Structure 1
Amino acid sequence: MLTLFKNVEVFAPEPLGRKDILISGERIVEIDEGIDESAVRSLNGDVFDLGEAYAIPGFVDGHVHLIGGGGEGGFSTRTPEGSSQQFAEVGTTTVVGMLGTDGVTRDHASLLAKVRDFRNSGIDSYMLTGSYRYPLKTLTGDVMRDIVFIPEIIGVGEVAVSDHRSSNLSSTELQRFAMDARVAGMLSGKAGVTVLHLGDGQEKLKPLYEAVADGTLNPRQIIPTHICRSEELLSQGIDWVSNKGGYIDITADEQSTHLVLKDIYSKKIRFDRICVSSDGLGSLPRFDDEKNLVGIRPAPVDTLLKTFTRLVKGRGLPIHEALKPFTANPAAFYHLQRNGIGLLKRGGSANILFIDRDFQIVEVISSGRSILEKRR
């Protein structure tokens, strides 16, 4: 099935100007001016003129809890699992699911089933093996076997460090399983990366620095998330980017993340190493001084779209720069750009978000399928 979208301003994320986009199946066939719509119609294809719309890559949410999270206050504090429609409605076309604190009542088999459900619904979906706990919980009994043999598993995470819910693993243990993940990625043609949950412990990023100190583990294989938990943690994260060349992941908060991103961009820190994720459907717990749970709520999934909009409309970042932490950067970290994810390019995945000049969604195309349409 051919579909032609006419007269859209394309950000790939680099600005390409006003173009037509032709898709066939799950792929972008062409991005060019004046694509012959009569030829498309002659092959029973559809043609849509979207007028003043922007075409941008669908958002890549690299940290979500598809089957829910939480549980820190007992069984009644487990957060609910999500649906693909929740992500479609906010322009997210690629997700990476993972377990968190609860690797006991939630497991990888259920997560894998949910990932495949999302794929059946048109959302590009992947997952990580492991959870907060060390030794790592896996699906097959071995980290490397999980990554090599399960197509959807592309790395390890989220493993907790510097947190009162962690297993207090050593930097040597961290290095060992992160390198196992890397080798498994080499064998299977995947990223083989590791996502590390950072809590409010005093060590902060120290275990990461120690794990890469001897030069055998590339800093780009591990990413610390929730890096804006404190100013000191963010400062260490910026150092991780600037001096180690690693990535950091910011959990989007619609009230403040756009301000942090603007500050990072203004200081000319490597913006291609900054990722933003929602932590969607996971828990947002509050603890007292004695680490007792005093409140919990599920994390929303719409914070990428809201943060991107505020970054452009409120902070004045150019669209093509503002897009990177939500599209190209997480796709690069997870080695998904090779599939054309996080980009708009000829031959790439047809994951396209069409928005109007007020940044309202017009249509969402994921894996070549229209999964949300508001143009009529």
Structure 2
Amino acid sequence: MLTLFKNVEVFAPEPLGRKDILISGERIVEIDEGIDESAVRSLSGDVFDLGEAYAIPGFVDGHVHLIGGGGEGGFSSRTAEGSSQQFAEVGTTTVVGMLGTDGVTRDHVSLLAKVRDFRNSGIDSYMLTGSYRYPLKTLTGDIMRDIVFIPEIIGVGEVAVSDHRSSNLSSTELQRFAMDARVAGMLSGKAGVTVLHLGDGQEKLKPLYEAVADGTLNPRQIIPTHICRSEELLSQGIDWVSNKGGYIDFTADEQSTHLVLKDIYSKKIRFDRICVSSDGLGSLPRFDDEKNLVGIKPAPVDTLLKTFTRLVKDRGLPIHEALKPFTANPAAFYHLQRNGIGLLKRGGSANILFIDRDFQIVEVISSGRSILEKRR
């Protein structure tokens, strides 16, 4: 089935100007000017003119809890699992699911089933093995076997460090399983990366620095998330990017993340190492000074779209630059660009978000499928 979208301004994320986009099945066939719509119609294809719309890559959300999370306040504080429609309708076309605090009442079998459900619905979905706890919880009994033999598993995470909910693992233990993940990725042609939950413990990024100190573990194999938890943690995260060449991940907050991202961009810190994720469907717990839970709520899944919009409209970043932490950068970290994810290109995945000049969603195409049916 051919579908042609006419007269859209394309950001791939790089600006390509006003083009037509032709898709067939799950792939982009061509991005060019003046694609022959009569030829498309002669093959029973559809043609849509989206007028003044922007065409951008669908968002890549590298940290979500597809089967829910939480539980820090007991069984009634477990957050609910989600649906593919929740993500698609806010422009997210690729997700990476993981377990968090609760690796006891939740497991990788359920997560794998949910990942496959999302794939059946047209959302590019992947998952990680492990959880907060060390030794790592796995599906097959070994993290390398999980990564090598389960197609959807592309790494390890989210493992907690510098947090009162962590297992207080040593830097040597961190280095060992991160290197196992890397080798498993090499054997299976995957990223083999590790996602680390950073809490508010005094050590902050110290375990990461120690894990890469001898040069055997590449800093680009591990990404600390929740990096904006405190000013000191953010400062260490910036150093991780600037001096180690590593990635860092921000949990999107509509009210503040755009301000920090603008500051990073203005200071010419490596923007290609900055990722933003939602932590969607996980819990957002609040603890007092004695680490007692005082509040908890589920994390929303729409914060990527909201943060991106504010980064452009309120902070003035060019669209093609503002897109990168939500598309190309997480796709690069997870080695998904080889699948044509996180960018728009000939032969790439047909994951396209169409938005109007007010940044309202016009249409979402995920794996070549129309999600919203709002075409004009």
Same fold (TM over 0.5): yes
* Partner Cα distance (2:98, 2:229) in 1: 20
Partner residue, 2:212: 212
How many angstroms does 1:265 deviate by?
0.1
How many angstroms does 1:371 deviate by?
1.3
How many angstroms does 1:244 deviate by?
0.0
How many angstroms does 1:96 deviate by?
0.1
Partner residue, 2:303: 303
Alignment deviations for residues 80-108 of structure 1 (CA, whole Å, 9 cap, x no partner): 00000100110000000000000000000
How many angstroms does 1:66 deviate by?
0.2
* Partner Cα distance (1:276, 1:267) in 2: 18
How many angstroms does 1:288 deviate by?
1.0
Alignment deviations for residues 152-196 of structure 1 (CA, whole Å, 9 cap, x no partner): 000000000000000000000000000000000000000000000
Partner residue, 2:155: 155
* Partner Cα distance (1:165, 1:120) in 2: 34
* Partner Cα distance (1:71, 1:65) in 2: 13
The SS at the match of 1:258 is helix
Alignment deviations for residues 133-154 of structure 1 (CA, whole Å, 9 cap, x no partner): 0000000000000000000000
How many angstroms does 1:374 deviate by?
2.0
The SS at the match of 1:160 is strand
Alignment deviations for residues 251-277 of structure 1 (CA, whole Å, 9 cap, x no partner): 000000000000000000000000000
Partner residue, 1:82: 82
The SS at the match of 1:41 is helix
* Partner Cα distance (1:220, 1:18) in 2: 35
Alignment deviations for residues 8-65 of structure 1 (CA, whole Å, 9 cap, x no partner): 0000000000000000000000000000000000000000000100000000000000
* Partner Cα distance (2:73, 2:260) in 1: 31
Alignment deviations for residues 297-317 of structure 1 (CA, whole Å, 9 cap, x no partner): 000000000000000000000
* Partner Cα distance (1:274, 1:289) in 2: 30
* Partner Cα distance (2:125, 2:373) in 1: 21
Partner residue, 1:96: 96
Partner residue, 1:354: 354
* Partner Cα distance (1:38, 1:336) in 2: 34
> What's the TM-score, normalizing by structure 2?
1.00
The count of residues paired between Structure 1 and Structure 2 equals 376
Which ranges of 4 or more aligned residues in structure 1 deviate by more than 3 Å? none
* Partner Cα distance (2:365, 2:335) in 1: 21
* Partner Cα distance (1:290, 1:309) in 2: 37
Contact 2:4 2:40 in 1 (8 A): yes
Alignment deviations for residues 314-373 of structure 1 (CA, whole Å, 9 cap, x no partner): 000000000000000000000000011000000000000000000000000000111122
* Partner Cα distance (1:240, 1:51) in 2: 43
The SS at the match of 1:128 is strand
* Partner Cα distance (1:5, 1:279) in 2: 32
The SS at the match of 1:187 is helix
The SS at the match of 2:62 is strand
Structure 2 residue ranges without an equivalent (≥5): none
* Partner Cα distance (2:55, 2:190) in 1: 28
The SS at the match of 1:146 is helix
* Partner Cα distance (2:59, 2:318) in 1: 17
Contact 2:48 2:375 in 1 (8 A): no
Partner residue, 2:269: 269
Structure 1 residue ranges without an equivalent (≥5): none
* Partner Cα distance (1:33, 1:375) in 2: 20
* Partner Cα distance (1:14, 1:337) in 2: 15
Alignment deviations for residues 228-266 of structure 1 (CA, whole Å, 9 cap, x no partner): 000000000000000000000000000000000000000
* Partner Cα distance (1:205, 1:373) in 2: 45
The SS at the match of 1:364 is strand
How many angstroms does 1:375 deviate by?
3.0
How many angstroms does 1:290 deviate by?
1.0
Partner residue, 1:119: 119
Partner residue, 1:107: 107
* Backbone CA RMSD of aligned residues: 0.4
Partner residue, 1:165: 165
The SS at the match of 2:136 is coil
* Partner Cα distance (1:196, 1:243) in 2: 19
* Partner Cα distance (2:284, 2:336) in 1: 28
How many angstroms does 1:287 deviate by?
0.6
* Partner Cα distance (1:372, 1:225) in 2: 31
How many angstroms does 1:289 deviate by?
1.2
- The alignment-based identity, stated in percent, is 98
* Partner Cα distance (2:284, 2:239) in 1: 26
